[in-house]
Chains A and B, each alone.
Chain A
Amino acid sequence: MFEMSSNLMYVAFFLFLASTVLFAVSITGKKFKTREGEEKNKAGLWGYISAVIALIAAVSYFIVRWIAVGHAPVSNMFEYTTALGIAISLAFVIIYPMYKNNYLGIFTMPIVMLIIAYASMFPTEAQPLIPALQSHWLTIHVITTVIGQGILAIGFVGGLIYLIRVIDFTKATKKVLGVEFILFSIIAGIAYILLNVGFNLADYEATFEYTNELGEEAQIDYTMPPLVGPNEGELISGGMNPLFNAPAIIASGDLNVVIWSFLGGLVFYLILRLLFRKPIGGIIQPLVKQVNPQAVDEISYRAIAIGFPVFTLGGLIFAMIWAQIAWTRFWGWDPKEVWALVTFLFYAAYLHLRLSRGWQGEKSAWLCVLGFIIILFNLIFVNLVIAGLHSYAM
C-alpha cells in the first residue's frame, strides 16, 4: 500500500510535467498558426486534461497513503508540503475553466512540480502521531488550510505573470530587482533540490564532533560538503575541511545547505544572464507578451477572493476548534498561530486595498506575490526555525 502511494505520486509528477509541456506548446504554437489557427491549437486543452489526471493520481496518493499509515498524510514536512503542491494543482483545475488562460497553466504546473520535489527532500517515511495530533479536527483544519493556501497560490501566479508582463526589464529599477529576487529564489530552490539529490546519489556524508549550544560535546552529520563547519568542529570522517566554523547557536548543517543552495542558484542565475544578456524576467517576458494584464489581474484577485474564506475557515476557525480541544485553549499566540493570523491580516488588507483606486494592477500584483511569500515563510521558516525553539514543536 505504502509503496503504491509513492508510485502514484511519481505518476502525478510526470503528468504535471506533461501538462507543462503541453501548455508551453499551446502558447508557443500559437505564433505559427495565425488568426484562423488559434482555434486549432488544442494543446491547452490537453494540458488541462493532463493536469486533471495528474490531480487524480495525486489525490489517490493522498488517499492510499492515508489508508496505509492510518492517519491523514499531513503531519510532517514531507506530507504537508506535498499536500500544498496538490492543493495548488486542485486550485488550478478549479480556476482554469473559468478563464481558460493557458499562461496560468505554464506557470502553475512547474511551481506545483517544484513544491512536490522540494517536499521529497524531507524524510518521507510514515511517522507516528503524538497524542495531540490524533484528532479529526486536526485533519479537517489542515486539509482546509492547505486548500485555501493552494487557491491563494494561484493569486501569486497571476501576480507574477502580471509583473513579468508589464515591468520594463531594459532599465535597472527596484521593480526589476524585486522580480529578479523572486526568480532567483525559485532558481535557488531548484539548485537545492538538484544538489541534494546529487550528493544523496553520491552517498556523501561527513561527520563532525563539535561543541553544541549547551557547551556539550556532540556529533553532527553533513549531507553536503562542509563549507561552514560546526562550532569547534573536528572532522572525524569523510569530506573536506570547512572554510570556517559557525558559532554554537547557529544550526551549522542547515546553514551549510543554505549556502550551497545560494551558490548553486547563483551559478545557474549567472549562466542564464550571461547567455541571454538580460534579466531572467526579461528572458521570460516575450513568452507572456500576448497576456492581457487586466485578465491576469482579475484572475489573481478572484483567486484571492475565493481562497481567503477557505483559508480563514481552515487556518483560523478550524484551527481554533482543534486548539480548544487539544491544547485546552483556542488561541495561544504560538508562532504558527501568529503567522496564520498575519497571513489572514495581510490578505484582508489586500482585499481592502482593492477597494481603493490605484491599487489594481501592478501594486496589487506585488501584494499577491508577497502574500504567498508569507505563506511559504510560515510553512518553512516558522516550522523549521522558529517553532524548533519552543515546547511543543514535533
Chain B
Amino acid sequence: MEKVKCECGHVNPYGTYLCESCGKPLKEEKGKIANMRYEGVARRSQTYKKSMIDRVWNFFSSVKVGIWIIFALLITSSLGTVFPQEMYIPPGENPAIYYEQAYGTIGLLYYQLGFHNLYSSWWYMLLIASLGISLVIASLDRVVPLYRALSTQRVTRHEGFLKRQRVFGEAEGLDDPEAEMKKAEKVLREKKYKIRKENGNLLAEKGRFARWGPYVNHVGLIIFLIGGMLRFFPEMYTDEHVWVREGEQEVISGTGGNYFVRNNEFAIDLYDEENEMFEAALERAGGSVVESFRTSATLLKRSSNGTVGSETELEEVKDHEIIVNDPLTFEGFSLYQVDYKLNELSTFSFTLESETVDEDFSDFIFEVDLNDPQKLYEFENGYEIEILEYFPNFLIDDNREPTTINRIPDNPRIIFEVFPPDVDREDENAEGEISLIGIQVNESLNGDHDHTIRLAGVEMVDVTGLTIRKDRTLPVISVGAIIFMIGLIQGSYWHHRRIWIQNREGTLLLAGHANKNWHALKKDFSLISANTQIPSPVDQLDEAAKEKENEGVNQNNV
C-alpha cells in the first residue's frame, strides 16, 4: 500500500484521514466537522480487507460488533434468572421433573433448552470468549496508531483542520494579537495545561493520559476473564464440604491428607426476643432468628518429624473461631462456616434389667458410641453383650431388608445379643438373647428373654458444616479487577482536552477538541475570553442545531 504524503511533508500510512502531523484532511468527508475519532489515523481494520485473517480481524475490531456481543450477553444473562438455575432448586429434586412440575410447560421448555444451566452452557462460554477476542483485537487495532498520532502531532495545524473542529472561532482586529495570546497562555498555564509553542502558534493540552483509560480497563478485563478461565484447571480450584462433630477432627480434603480440622465447640446464638429494637421484626418473622453461629476450631498438621511407620502425630497449627464472614485460612485454603446440625445423637447408654434372674443390676451400665461402636462389651459379673448389627440411620428397604441410609446416627437401631455368664461362648451353638433396640423400640428377635436392655441415656453433640475452598484464580482475578478499575477511573474522571491558537497575519484562530466533557473545555474558553479580548469560540454543533430548529425542522440527532 502506498503511503500518503501531506503538504506539510509528513508521510502518513495508507488509510489516514487527517494528517498525523499537521491535521490537514486527506480525504473528503461529509459535514462541517472533522471525524476526530482516533485522531483520524489509519487503523489496520480500516485498511486491509483481503485475507481471511483480515476479515476476522475487521469483524472483531468493530465497536458495533462489540456492542452486539455485549447486548447478547446481557439478554442471555437475564434469561437465566427467569426460573432458578439448577444449583438453586431444592436439593434432591430431579431437574427433569422439577421444572415442569413447578413452572408448567414453560418450565419444561426452559429445562429442555438448557437454560437451567445457562451460565455453564457452551453458547454462553462462546459469547464470553467472543467478548474477550473482540476486546483484544479492538484495542490492538486502535491503541498503536493512536499512540503514534498523539506523540507525533505538531503544534502548527493546517487551517482546514482547525476550521473543522467542533469548537472554533476567529478573533479579528485585535490591537495586539501577540499580547492577547500571551495572556491566553497564562490563563491556560494556570488551568494546568501543558503548552507547546512553535512559530508563534500554540497547542495547550491537558489530561492526555485519560486517553489510555479504555485500553487499561480492557487489559484489566482480559486478565479478569483469563482468571475466570483458569478455574477449569482442577488444581486451581477446590470446593468441598465437611461435617465435623464437636470434639472430633476431620481431614481437610485437597491437602493430601496433611491437614485436619478439629471442632472444639460449636455454639449458636438467637436474637433475644425481648430485644426492644427488633421486637416488631422478630414478631413479623414469626420465630427465632439466628444471630450467629460459630465453630471454635483448631487446625492440625501431620507432623513432619514423625518417624516412618509410627502413629501419625498431629501438630496444632492454629486456633480460629470460624464464623460466617470470617473463615479460617491457611496456605490458600479457607474453611467457611456454612451450616450446622444441632443435637445429633452421639452416645446411648444402656442398662440391663431382669425380673427372673437373681442378680443385682443396679450398677450395670454401658455406653455405645454411635459413631464408632465397640463390638463386644464384657462385664465383671461375667455378662457379655455383643452388637450383631448396627444401623445408624435405619430403614427397611424395597426388599423389606433392614439397612441404613448413611453413617449418620439420625435413627440408630442396634441388634444386641446378651450372653449371661452361664452360656458357654466357646460352644458353637450357644445362643444369647437377641433384641433390636432403638429410640422407643425394643423388640425381642428370638423368643422370650430373661433380660431386657433399656435405653437409659442419650447424649447429643452439635455438628458444624464447613466448606473447604481453595481458589488459586483469586490473585489473577483481583489483579484484573484492580487494573480494570484504574483504567475506568483514568478514562472517566480525566478528560483529554486540546486548545489550538494560531496567529494568521493578525487574526487569531482558536479551536478546541475534547474527547468528552465539552462543557469543561468551553468553560476554559470562557475563562480565556474573560481575561483577554479574544471572544469565545462557538460550538459548531449548537449552531447547526439552532439553524435546523429555526428552519422548523424537528431534528434531534446532530
Contacts and interface: CB of A to CB of B under 8 A. Distances in A.
B492 A135 contact: no
Contacts, number: 150
Contacts of A329: 239, 469, 471
A353 interface: yes
A394 B399 CA distance: 43
B56 interface: no
Contacts of B557: 358, 360-363
A128 B291 contact: yes
B325 A135 contact: yes
B281 A128 contact: yes
Given A99-B519, A168-B554, A130 B289 contact: yes
A178 to B, nearest CB: 14
A309 B78 contact: no
A200 interface: no
Interface in B224-265: 239
B509 to A, nearest CB: 24
Interface stretch (A22-30, A41-49, A182-190, A332-340): A332-340
A222 interface: no
Nearest to B38: A355
B516 A305 contact: yes
Contact of A326 (B70, B282, B324, B493): B324
Interface in B462-480: 467, 469, 471, 474, 477
B50 interface: no
Contacts of B467: 328
Interface in A284-316: 292-294, 298, 301-302, 305-306, 308-309, 312-313
Contact of A352 (B67, B88, B284, B519): B67
Nearest to A126: B277
Given A294-B542, A309-B485, A361-B557, A382 B81 contact: yes
Contact of B323 (A131, A306, A356, A362): A131
B516 to A, nearest CB: 7
A306 B290 CA distance: 40
B481 interface: yes
From A301, A333, A346, A352, residue with most partner B Cβ within 10 Å? A333
B277 A345 contact: no
Dominant SS among interface residues on chain A: helix
B473 to A, nearest CB: 10
A341 interface: yes
B221 to A, nearest CB: 10
Interface string A317-336: 10010001110111011110
B282 to A, nearest CB: 7
A302 B517 CA distance: 7
Contacts of B519: 98-99, 298, 302
A298 B517 CA distance: 7
A168 to B, nearest CB: 6
A391 interface: yes
B116 to A, nearest CB: 12
Interface in B77-102: 77-78, 80-81, 83-85, 87-88
B74 A346 contact: yes
A68 interface: yes
Nearest to A292: B542
B532 interface: no
Contacts of B558: 294, 360-361
Given A131-B325, A132-B325, A333-B119, A312 B485 contact: yes
Contacts of B281: 123, 125-128
Given A134-B325, A349-B71, A361-B557, A305 B492 contact: yes
Contacts of B77: 338, 341-342, 345
B327 A325 contact: yes
Given A346-B74, A349-B71, A361 B63 contact: no
Nearest to A349: B70
B338 interface: yes
Q: How large is the interface on A (under 10, 10 to 19, 20 to 34, 35 or more residues)?
A: 35 or more
B441 to A, nearest CB: 31
A168 B66 CA distance: 33
B543 to A, nearest CB: 11
B110 interface: no
B330 interface: no
Contacts of B292: 131, 134
Contacts of B314: none
Given A130-B289, A329-B469, A335 B556 contact: no
Given A342-B74, A355-B63, A68 B277 contact: yes
Contact of A131 (B66, B280, B324, B542): B324
A69 interface: yes
B73 interface: yes
B147 interface: no
Contact of B278 (A98, A127, A328): A127
Contacts of B477: 330
Given A306-B492, A363-B557, A328 B469 contact: yes
A131 B295 CA distance: 13
Nearest to B468: A328
Given A309-B485, A339-B78, A342-B74, A328 B541 contact: no
A348 interface: yes
Contacts of B88: 334, 390-391
B37 interface: yes
Nearest to A344: B74
A384 to B, nearest CB: 14
Interface in A371-386: 382, 386
Contacts of B275: 128
B74 A352 contact: no
A73 to B, nearest CB: 12
Nearest to A389: B84
Nearest to B284: A123
Contacts of B66: 352
Nearest to B282: A128
A345 B73 contact: yes
B461 interface: no
A333 B85 contact: yes
Contacts of A294: 539, 541-542, 545, 558
Interface string A63-84: 0000011100000000000000
A345 B66 CA distance: 11
A2 interface: yes
A335 B541 CA distance: 43
Nearest to A357: B35
A115 interface: no
B334 A328 contact: yes
Interface string A216-233: 000000000000000000
A18 interface: no
Interface string B38-82: 000000000000000000000000011011001101100110110
Contacts of B37: 355
B211 to A, nearest CB: 13
A147 to B, nearest CB: 15
A235 to B, nearest CB: 23
Interface string B260-297: 00000000000100010110111010000111110000
Given A131-B324, A333-B80, A356-B63, 5 more contacts: A125-B280, A126-B277, A134-B324, A309-B489, A355-B63
25 contacts: A68-B277, A123-B280, A126-B280, A127-B278, A128-B275, A131-B292, A293-B556, A294-B542, A294-B558, A302-B516, A302-B519, A305-B516, A308-B488, A325-B326, A326-B325, A328-B338, A333-B87, A338-B80, A345-B70, A345-B74, A349-B67, A356-B63, A361-B558, A362-B556, A391-B88
Top 5 A-B pairs ranked by shortest CB distance? A131-B324, A125-B280, A335-B81, A362-B556, A345-B74
